Amino acid sequence: MNDSISCRPTLDTFVRFGIVLAAFFGFGLYFFYDGSAGYRKANEVYFSYQAFATLGAEASKSLAWSTGQLEKPLIAAEQVEGEWMVEGKYPLPRNCAATSSTPPEAADHAAMSKSWADCWMAYSARMHFPLKPAEHAYDTAAIREQWLAGGVCMGICCIILFFIIRTSKRTMGIDGTTVTAAGQTFDVSEISRLDLRQWGKGFKGIAYATVKGKKIRLDGMTYGGFNPAANQPAESFMQMLLARYKGEILEYERKDSTAD
């Protein structure tokens, strides 16, 4: 009769870890993109759209445009109207439209007076801008928040990686009367209580061994698998442990079929 068994982490365990890790890593990259480029690009679109609207209103009033005016950038670096403090408070991407003169789509007085929205549509298509800008510009505080959120996500990724590495190096098993679980090694005789209320019930595969006043987790879902119908390693581990343990047991429940 075999008197030892060792349960390795299951593939499902690493799949679950991988899904959570990929989700937080993806969110982190998304936040970092918005903080480094996304929000700045959105500001360029927003202020360009506002400039087209302003020039369109001037054109509809038949206001004359001086040559000097049309040589100015579409987005000025100085305060244009109210919240239009572009530099500093509302960062723009490098080499954006602010470095060039008014584009031809906005410089056409006749076309702008007829429909500045059509001119904007032509300009946004050429610049690969979204047709509809954001509802507001993003200031430096909003950009900092994206960097912070990205950093939090990457910090969580590091924590998940730690648990992946730790889990991969651990086993749960029994060799004679020596039990290994949760990074601890102890003898069956040292167990004062086995809490099996979550082992069979609902197929959670979790039990707790009280050793010298300390609860040690016996995790059959992570290590080996615990379905008795499939004779998985963790269930064999538990049966072997029960055959050697003679102390107090809390509500051990066997189930030969999956829970409803």
Q: What phi-psi label fits residue 67: left (phi over 0), alpha (psi between -120 and 50 degrees) or beta?
A: alpha
Averaged pLDDT, 60-79: 61
Instruction: Look at residue 71 in the predicted model and tell me its pLDDT.
Output: 58
Could you tell me if 39 and 110 lie in one domain? Answer: yes
Can you give the residue range of the structural domain that contains 215?
171-250
Could you tell me if 131 and 97 lie in one domain? Answer: yes
Could you tell me if 138 and 51 lie in one domain? Answer: yes
Domain contains 154 = no
Could you tell me if 203 and 84 lie in one domain? Answer: no
Distance CA 107, CA 70 (A): 7
pTM for this entry: 0.77
Could you tell me if 189 and 136 lie in one domain? Answer: no
The two structure tokens encoding residue 247: 């102390």
Domain contains 166 = no
Provide the domain count of the chain.
2
Could you tell me if 109 and 51 lie in one domain? Answer: yes
Instruction: Look at residue 102 in the predicted model and tell me its pLDDT.
Output: 78
For the chain, percent of residues with pLDDT exceeding 90: 55
Domain contains 161 = no
Could you tell me if 177 and 141 lie in one domain? Answer: no
pLDDT at 236 over 80: yes
Instruction: Look at residue 108 in the predicted model and tell me its pLDDT.
Output: 83
Distance CA 210, CA 194 (A): 6
Least confident of 30-39, 133-142, 143-152: 133-142
Domain contains 103 = yes
pLDDT at 203 over 70: no
Domain contains 159 = no
Domain contains 257 = no
Domain contains 160 = no
Could you tell me if 130 and 49 lie in one domain? Answer: yes
Domain contains 176 = yes
Could you tell me if 130 and 176 lie in one domain? Answer: no
Distance CA 177, CA 7 (A): 16
Instruction: Look at residue 31 in the predicted model and tell me its pLDDT.
Output: 97
